[in-house]
Amino acid sequence: MTTVKRFPALAAIVVGAVLMVLPLLIVLNNALKSPGDYSTHGPLALPHGIYLDGLKDFWNRVDFGRMLLNSTVISGSVAVLGVVLSVLNAYAIGIGRVKGRTWILAFFVLANVLPQEALVYPLYYLSKQAGLYDTRLSLVIVFTVIQSAFGTYLLSSVLGAFPKEIIEAARIDGANSWQVLYRIVVPVSRSTLGVLLVFFFIWTWNEFLLPLVLLPSNDNQTVSLALGVLQGQRLMDATMTNAAGLLGALPAVVFFLLFQRTLTRGIAVGSVK
């Protein structure tokens, strides 16, 4: 392609990329304005001086630190437990080649595809019966199982291709199946496990429907849930809204920058399997 044609095409792609990021830049711009500045100059003008009280007010009003802690505890536990459960299932299916594994796998795939709407009322009811309603533990249990459905599906095909010689050599040396699992299979597959860990964390962090139903009280809410509920109630003014947008986006953006490689690699692995 000639150089003359190259630059307009590059320009088009760059404009597209800027448009994707623009909404967040506008939010950043307005989260740093005082309410007076916003109402005099409108949403498009640059801030006349940096104003952080809006962010501070919002942080205190919704107890944002606590929401961050809740989200981290819930998503972190789900990520770890979900990976453990996925590994156990996938070990039996991918390496143990248990009888009926195709059907078992199909069951896990369907459980992953199932809309949460078809589980939400019974889960709400059962969590009340079990005394787990409005606890972070209820979400940890539910999402560990839901995420491990995907994890089992992905990991089973990865472990299905695991070099058999290594396992047989360890068996001849007298290792039992548990030792094979945690001394050989887990260390060798750790990059895939890392991908799952990151995905489970982000997915759980971003969940909305089940937290909305299972966590009614402010104290237990996650970041995504608290922001969604506030927005649904439409109690926020412009300054508050932008503060919420910025603070809500920040952890996701940081996490994204930290794990960009793992994420893009993981998406590729997930799509081809």
Partner 1 sequence: MSYGSQRGQAPIRRRHPRNTYALYLVPGALAFLAVIALPFAMNIWYSFTDWQGVGSPKWTGLDNYRQLFEDSQFWESFRHSLAMVLAMSVIPTTVGLVVAAALFDFVGKHFGSKLASVLRACFYLPQVLPITVAGIVWSWILAPEGGSLNAALKAVGLGSLRQDWLGDPNFALYSVMAVMVWVQLGFPVVIFMSGLQRVDPALHEAAELDGTSWWQRFWHVTLPQLRPEIYVVMLWCTIAALKVFGAVYVLTKGGPADSTNVPSYFSFATFFEKTQVGYGSAIATVMTLIILALAVVGLRFQAKAEDER
**# chain residues binding partner 1, by CB under 8 A:** 103
Report if residue 244 touches partner 1, rule: CB under 8 A.
yes
Question: Of the ranges 1-9, 49-57, 61-69, 188-196, which one interacts with partner 1 (CB under 8 A)?
Answer: 1-9
Report if residue 24 touches partner 1, rule: CB under 8 A.
yes
- Binding to partner 1, residues 183-242 (CB under 8 A): 202, 205-206, 208-209, 212-213, 223-225, 227-228, 231-232, 238, 241-242
Report if residue 141 touches partner 1, rule: CB under 8 A.
yes
- Binding to partner 1, residues 30-89 (CB under 8 A): 38-39, 42-44, 85, 88-89
Q: How far is the CB of 91 from partner 1 (least distance, A)?
A: 5
Q: How far is the CB of 227 from partner 1 (least distance, A)?
A: 4
Report if residue 102 touches partner 1, rule: CB under 8 A.
no
Q: How many residues does the chain have?
A: 273
Report if residue 8 touches partner 1, rule: CB under 8 A.
no
Biggest CA-to-CA distance, the chain: 78
